[in-house]
Structures are given as C-alpha cells and as structure tokens.
C-alpha cells in the first residue's frame, strides 16, 4: 500500500536516494514539486549539464518551491498539471510523486527506454498486491523492484524496458 502523506515533502531518506540516483542521469523529471525539497536533492545530484523539470499544481507551493530551487539554474519549475511534462519528455530519471500519476500509463510515455522511475511512500508488506505495485512490479514493459528507505517505508525503482 502507498502511504499518502497529504502532499508533504519527501523524507530525508528519499531525498538522499534521489541524490544518489540523479548522479547517473542527465534529464530528470519530477511529478509533484510541493516545496522543492525532492527537486533540490535531484538537482544537487545531477552531473554537470544535467537538467530537472518539475511540475506543481498548487500555486502557493510552487512559489515556495521557486525560492527553494532558485540556487539551481538547471531546474525548470512548471506551475500546472503534471501532464504538461510531456512537452519536456523524454526523461531518463522520473520521480513520480502525485498519487494519481503513480498508476497512470501516461507516465511511462514520459520516460525513455532504459530510464528510471522512482516512487516513494510505499508501506512494506501489504495484505495484498496494491494497484501501484501491480502496475510497476507486474508490468512486462518495466523491470521493477522495491527497496526500504526506512524500516517501515519503501520506494519502488523501475526501469522502462519497452
Ligand atoms: C507528495 S507531494 C510532492 C513532494 C515532493 N516531490 C518532494 O519530494 O518534496 C505531491 C505534490 O503534488 C502536487 N500535485 C497534486 N496533483 C497534481 C497534479 N495533477 N499535477 C501537478 N502536481 C500535483 C500537490 O500539490 C503536492 O504538492
């Protein structure tokens, strides 16, 4: 099951994971900027020349995030719906952090083949296979696995195969 965190910032452990993963990528995207904390972690991890495009629907949050991300000239913050990321696709790293997007097949169209998708806020050991795990771990177009970010929270890492 996914723990929906009322749209707050990602936890420090996830931000550390994003920073590590970003180091091997050049065109990153983020669905759901919130206050810019996860985006800042990605921006810090990207290699020289790497870029991040991040999108936030809520105007107030986007304004806060704009200040948080101001030190990173390689970050573009879009204020709007996540589908607008299609203009900037494909990405080789995509952090999907809006609940509805986590099971939307349109997300895969934003990622190049071989690109990596990150989904956080997963609660380990659910009673059954939930829709998010069903989509990312049982999808023939994707190689997915799950890692713990804390003793009781996890993240899905999934590579687009086709
Ligand atoms: C869990 S928070 C994102 C946390 C952020 N990624 C981080 O690492 O700190 C989810 C955010 O997605 C935004 N959101 C919700 N629906 C959206 C949509 N359709 N398009 C873009 N952003 C959306 C919410 O306003 C909220 O700020």
CB–CB of 115/15 below 8 Å?
Answer: no
Band of the pLDDT at 1, cuts 50, 70, 90? Answer: low
Q: Two tokens at 134?
A: 């069903």
Structural domains present in the chain: 6-160 (3.40.50.150)
Chain-wide mean pLDDT for the chain? 94
pLDDT at 132: 96
Query: Averaged over 54-68, what is the pLDDT?
Result: 98
Whether the CB of 61 sits within 6 Å of ligand 1:
yes
* Residue owning the nearest CA to atom 27 of ligand 1: 34
Q: What is the pLDDT of residue 65?
A: 98
Confidence label for 125 from pLDDT (cuts 50, 70 and 90): confident
Q: Is 54 in the pocket of ligand 1 (CB under 6 A)?
A: no
The predicted structure's pLDDT at residue 7: 73
> Binning pLDDT at 50, 70 and 90, where does residue 128 land?
low
For residue 91, what are the β-bridge partners?
A: 111
Q: Report residue 157 CA to chain centroid gap.
A: 10
Name the pLDDT band for 2 (thresholds 50, 70, 90).
Answer: low
- pLDDT tens for 3-17 read 444 479 999 999 999
What is the mean pLDDT of the segment spanning 32-59? 98
Predicted confidence (pLDDT) at residue 158 exceeds the cutoff of 80: yes
What distance in angstroms lies between residue 97's CA and the mean position of ligand 1's atoms? 6
Give me the mean pLDDT over the 86-95 stretch.
98
The alpha carbon of 78 is separated from its chain's Cα centroid by a whole number of angstroms, namely: 15
Q: What is the pLDDT of residue 5?
A: 43
């Amino acid at each position: 099951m996914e723990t929906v965190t009322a749209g707050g910032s990602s936890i420090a452990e996830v931000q550390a994971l994003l920073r590590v993963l970003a180091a091997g990528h050049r065109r990153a995207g983020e669905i759901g900027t919130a206050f810019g904390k996860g985006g800042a972690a990605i921006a810090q991890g990207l290699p020289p020349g790497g870029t991040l495009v991040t999108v936030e629907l809520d105007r107030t949050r986007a304004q806060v995030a704009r200040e948080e991300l101001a030190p990173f000239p390689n970050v573009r913050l879009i204020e709007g719906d996540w589908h607008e990321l299609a203009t900037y696709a494909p990405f080789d790293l995509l952090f999907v952090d809006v609940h509805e997007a986590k099971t939307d097949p349109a997300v895969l169209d934003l990622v190049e083949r071989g690109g990596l998708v990150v989904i956080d806020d997963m609660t380990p050991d659910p009673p059954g296979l939930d829709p998010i795990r069903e989509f990312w771990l049982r999808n023939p177009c994707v190689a997915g696995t799950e890692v713990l970010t804390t003793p009781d929270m996890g993240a899905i890492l999934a590579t687009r195969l086709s």
